[in-house]
Structure 1
């Protein structure tokens, strides 16, 4: 979710839980079983132990398997080694099952649990039409049960510290501090929009990364399609760990940063951490480069420039996206369709999810597929995933790639917020995502709409 904030008051859209629905949704996995997970043998030079964890993709379905992503996270927590380490960075957290698993790991097995929250996840109550309403936030409870709440200004050595929770400073992310102007007098402050956890060892498998599109809230289980990857890889774990430590450092001291962007190749993966500033490196008002017009520093546009629309086999791009307002991305998709690629897009239907200019471009582009999942605003199910799949010629060779993470295709997600984008070069993971797109999303009665 992307909270919009007026001059004095933060305004966040409220999405309630849906009434019971009778729609049937087709759910598939790589293995063809009724569960919502898919996995591929690890791509390592040495054959892993028989009980070692393999890279895995996990998908929830609001009808048939609403808890799949959440339950995968709980399982990882429960299987974390005694006296091990769990680190997380999360936007919103109201899930009792995850809270209970984390508390039990800390209390019963001596696991150090270190969590970074966005400041919007702190309040136990908020005013709704002047009346205090419970938010369900787990921040206070976790702080009490884990034994320490870190405040801004404290010095923390995470490698020697025990369990703790930290909330990023108000009206910014832990790193990102930029305010983005919106329509009228509204502004949007930076947030920590991340949704990842790191595990020192799960069972016999060390260095596991869990990256999701879902916040830890009820609506993200029952109202939206979401996804996650579970990736055991020491290099990837270390890269996420460095970013997590940077979040901790900036979240406890200093004013934050307007520009952070960092990318690293680690085996079959590549990380992209945000915010990313426009090309003249000047976030000040009056900058020579408009942050909404600089396609040269839009990471998704840059990735799409690596695609060649070969005639045989045809290059196919699939995108499942919650929020989409970056016109330069839409322009590039239109150009790739015109060049002979097959471009297939499924977006969310809630109000404000798709910008009017993006909608117009996509509708006029003659895309191979353009669908809208109705969303809770229409009393149905929406898509909250944020992934792009490329099957075809990429950087001159045949590839099957999945790009996933926390980042929507909006300007604040690119320019101001703490975000993660992850490239996964693994044919099995790609196939699981393709099935999620082609069969679960495309087969859902909730996702048969068109952009108006």
Structure 2
């Protein structure tokens, strides 16, 4: 009844018809290059009643004010009762967004975005329900679209009056733009945050055009040099990326979506390693974790998005754990830096949460059925980028190997600094019975042809602290780089219990055990060629 009342009200007050002039969409379809990225007290907010709002409000306990829309289209004359109601003119004729140049560049028809979408229309996807757990793509098979499809299914299934908030590093796929645009047109309130490098793609521009064409609840913003960070360059926030050295440019590198209600399921959050790009679908191994009925994670992620949107310094590292099962601990980066004017910031292991996590790993003492066949703790890593600024993580893994843990690493060799592997592979035969008694850490390279491992996760199975039945997975957008810890906006999720461990372990084993998907490292790599985080 409330939704029906809202639709009628909007029909009387906010209906938009074409008035003769059509807003232009950028004709240039070529995407811009997508560079390499390198404790709160939030409480659960009550589930909001569905309505097409006039502004996007933060969760009940968030103190950061909601942003205001920057683009508006004035409503036309009020139509007669019974006339279809459109949220803005584009919703009445989506084909105007598909310019000839865009069609040609992307091989898409003029009607790709589908028929007109009326306010209050049923979702494009009915019968799908989000479930707790992880999903993985396989860039070698038809399952390459699994991760991006999970993200887009959220938009396709979103009902009018609900609110979706998204932080996404890159968008170049038109199926993503289509899902977002059609959700907005039927009355879903969308707050879309991206990195400025991606703002020039035709799909991103079309999304921005539609979301900001009316004043009824959706917003779009591109962050410049990351959001909500105290990092500076020479006293002001200016672009410092160069072809020779792109790693010191901060990015809004997070990839997550929250839904206040999705297909009848409250407080849904999706945290991904992949972006809305074709490279992530056709070439990169990626994962996505969906948390359902979890108001703590939902509120935490919304609070961080509102902080990034405000784009003021001082809103840096934060962490929050849920109270349900599985236990989900969310981490937000960057960590505050001592001297934000210095681009050569050092990284302190003492303030790296991964250091503290690995220090709690115990190699012996796992309960029966945990660890490997000898009940030794397993530490399994899949890491896209790993730079020399965080070599201490490699040293910690080596110490765990020497202490008897089973440590194995899947890498993207072209994305690792050359200093990392010698630490993992270091083996002195003269000291074989002492310092390096357990030999090298086994490594496999996930670079196979044009395919590569883009997932960034670590699995622990065995003993962690006093827990003899530890099953942990740490996943998200952050690589093991200085940028991910100090400069970028990143979101990672540490999951204890539930289906996550078995799901991630199965994916890790699939890549590790196949010569098609990875190859063993038998010698040190001598070259590094960055493909950037496309």
**TM score, norm. by length of structure 1:** 0.76
Between the aligned partners of 2:245 and 2:306, the Cα distance in structure 1 is: 35
CA contact (8 A) 2:446 2:511 kept: no
Residue 350 of structure 2, aligned match among 296, 314, 325:
296
- Closer, same or farther: CA 423–11 of 1 in aligned 2, 3 Å: closer
| Pairs aligned (count) | 368
For 1:115 and 1:11, locate their aligned partners in 2 and report how far apart those are by CA, in whole Å: 18
Rounded Cα–Cα distance in structure 2 between residues aligned with 1:228 and 1:300: 20
C-alpha distance in structure 2 between counterparts of 1:78 and 1:338, whole Å: 50
1:422 and 2:481 aligned = no
Structure 1: distance between partners of 2:152 and 2:343: 47
Q: Structure 1 residue 182: deviation in Å?
A: 10
Residue correspondence of structure 1 range 131-280 to structure 2 within 5 A: 137-148=202-213, 162-169=217-224, 172-178=225-231, 188-232=248-292, 233-250=294-311, 254=312, 256-257=313-314, 260-267=316-323, 268-277=327-336
Once residues 179 and 314 of structure 1 are traced to their aligned partners in structure 2, the CA distance between those partners, rounded to angstroms, is 45
Q: Which has the higher strand share?
A: 1
Tell me how far 1:381 sits from its aligned partner.
1.2
Q: Work out which of the residue numbers 330, 335, 339 in structure 2 matches 1:282.
A: 339
SS state at 1:314 partner: coil
CA-to-partner distance for each residue in 1:419-448, whole Å, 9 max, x for gaps? 111111124111000000012343251311
Question: Which residues of 2 match residues 339-354 of structure 1 at below 5 A?
Answer: 339-350=403-414, 353-354=415-416
- Measure the CA separation in 2 of the matches of 1:444 and 1:424: 29
Structure 1's 445 and 264: CA in aligned 2 closer, same or farther, altered over 3 A?
A: same
Aligned CA RMSD, in angstroms, stands at 2.7
- Secondary structure of 2:248's match? strand
Displacement of 1:380 after TM fit? 3.1
3-state SS of paired residue (1:370)? strand
**Among residues 415, 420, 428, which one is paired with 1:358 in the alignment?**
420
Q: 1:102 to 1:444 in 2, by over 3 A?
A: farther
CA distance in 2, matches of 1:185, 1:97: 32
Query: How far apart, in 1, do the equivalents of 2:385 and 2:412 lie?
Result: 7
**Normalization by structure 2: what TM-score?**
0.64
Matches within 5 A, 1:312-351: 312=366, 313-325=375-387, 326-350=390-414
Q: Hey, what's the Cα distance between the residues in 2 that align with 1:11 and 1:432?
A: 30
- Residue deviations 1:351-406, cap 9 Å, x none? xx11111111112263453111125xxx3310000101111111211210110010
**Deviation readout 1:212-271 (Å, 9 max, x if unpaired):** 000110010111100000111111111111111111111xxx4x34x7111111121111
The Cα of 1:148 is off from its aligned counterpart by 4.6
**Structure 2 Cα separation of the partners of residues 332 and 296 of structure 1:** 13
Query: Max radius of gyration: which structure?
Result: 2
Q: 1:316 to 1:367 in 2, by over 3 A?
A: farther
